[in-house]
Amino acid sequence: MTTVFAVVVVLGGLIFFHELGHFAVARGLGMGVSVFSLGFGPKILKMRRGKTEYALSLVPLGGYVALVGESDEEDIPEGFTPEESFALRPAWQRLLVVAAGPLANMLLAWLLCWLLAFSWGATTLLPEIGAVNEDGPAAAAGLQAGDRILSINGIAVASWEDLSEAINASEGQPLSLEIARPASSLASNGDFTTLRCVVHPFRSARKTVFGDEENAWLIGVRASGKVVVRPLDFWSAAGEGANHAGRMISLTWQGLVKLVQRVVPLDQVGGPIMIMQLVGQQANEGLAGLLALTALISVNLGILNLLPIPVLDGGQIVFCLWETIFRRPIARQVQAYAMRLGVALLVCLMLLATFNDIWRIVKSAG
């Protein structure tokens, strides 16, 4: 039951927040909204405020917004005026309404990352060496497992990311390292000896998070995996949340590009089954992991909807941009054919993702 509840809340909430973005901008621009529903299917509860009917529907996964004139510019429900029609508004206004859904998902990811940073603090991977390659520059310079890098060329190093970036930016030039070495294997946190050494980075290939190889400057060390958690105040957490959400967006976009380039194989594409499995797993492991996963799914939902596929928000944005630039809309027949093609593409993608999900289950069971 925990898994089912978590899936309903996460997936339903994400889609609902997406629709809320469309709704908020449409109403802000004075467009009419006839129905705003939480869920799909038969309406369980409903109330009317102003001209809009707010409803709670039977199927709780998501929601929808019925904009006046969205499907047919001549379809103006009773009580609304042509001035409130979505279809009769300038292209730039329609573009804002369409783009608001994916942007709402990005906003939600930031808010969730903000909440995580404020409630649980910021986690930093320490620049502490866990292992040294025997034939690498670090070993030649005398570095050992347990050494913590304090500075490189006089610049303080606070995290493993700082260390990696400084080494990669060296372009092979010698690096002067200041390190803190435990006085013994049983040393307390304050019992360290400060040493200095010079390391000569070498150029080599390494695996990226997407599995492909890239050339980088390395010194032949691996992280110990130790982390430190820093508590953050409300506004500092906002900045940390924005940075974390930004990294999510960047990695998700890079992953999509790598998928198109075939660097990431198609069998890595996951669908609803995999999402439900991940949500259920995180729901049983703790709230922090569930919130982080929700933020990541929200980013993926936002970016997916921005793809220039006609049936998605991205396709509608392309139509609006065309109309804005060329001062005329794309022919209705062309739009109709494009929508059919978009539906076909989405169906194929969904079938691929579902096949991958089922195949992963079969392989793990075997």
* pLDDT tens readout for residues 150-189: 999 999 999 999 999 999 999 889 999 999 998 764 444 5
Render pLDDT for 79-101 as a digit per residue (tens, 0 to 9). Answer: 889 899 998 999 999 999 999 99
Render pLDDT for 279-321 as a digit per residue (tens, 0 to 9). Answer: 888 888 889 999 999 999 999 999 999 999 988 999 999 999 9
Measured distance CA(46)–CA(77) in Å, rounded: 18
How many other CB atoms are there within 10 angstroms of residue 32's CB atom?
24
Burial of 219 (0-12, 13-18, 19+ CB in 10 A): buried
Using the predicted structure, report yes or no on whether residue 210 has a pLDDT greater than 80.
Answer: no
For 289-321, the DSSP string reads: HHHHHHHHHHHHHHHHHTSS-TTSHHHHHHHHH
pLDDT of residue 132: 93
Span 9-30, mean pLDDT?
92
Query: Residue 76's closest CA among 35, 32, 36?
Result: 32
Q: How far is CA 268 from the centre of its chain?
A: 17
pLDDT band at 269 (very low <50, low <70, confident <90, very high): confident
Render pLDDT for 62-83 as a digit per residue (tens, 0 to 9). Answer: 788 999 988 777 778 888 898 9
Render pLDDT for 312-331 as a digit per residue (tens, 0 to 9). Answer: 999 999 999 999 999 999 88
pLDDT of residue 186: 43
Span 198-220, mean pLDDT?
83
pLDDT of residue 320: 94
Tokens of 225: 């995996």
Q: How far is CA 360 from the centre of its chain?
A: 23
pLDDT of residue 78: 84
Ranges 4-13, 69-78, 245-254, 300-309: which has the least confidence: 69-78
Domain ranges of the chain: 2-29+89-121+240-365, 124-229
Tokens of 67: 């904009």
Backbone angles phi, psi at 236, to 5 degrees: -65, -35
Amino acid at 325: I
272-285 helix and 2-28 helix, angle to the nearest 10 degrees: 110
pLDDT band at 361 (very low <50, low <70, confident <90, very high): confident
Backbone angles phi, psi at 315, to 5 degrees: -65, -40
Render pLDDT for 102-156 as a digit per residue (tens, 0 to 9). Answer: 999 999 999 999 999 999 999 999 999 999 998 899 999 999 999 999 999 999 9
Using the predicted structure, report yes or no on whether residue 230 has a pLDDT greater than 60.
Answer: yes
Would you please indicate which residues are annotated as catalytic (active-site) residues? Answer: 19
Mean pLDDT, rounded, of the chain: 89
Tokens of 260: 């198109």
pLDDT of residue 54: 93
Q: Which CATH class is domain 124-229?
A: mainly beta
pLDDT of residue 365: 77
Using the predicted structure, report yes or no on whether residue 190 has a pLDDT greater than 70.
Answer: no
Of the chain, the percentage scoring pLDDT greater than 90 comes to 58
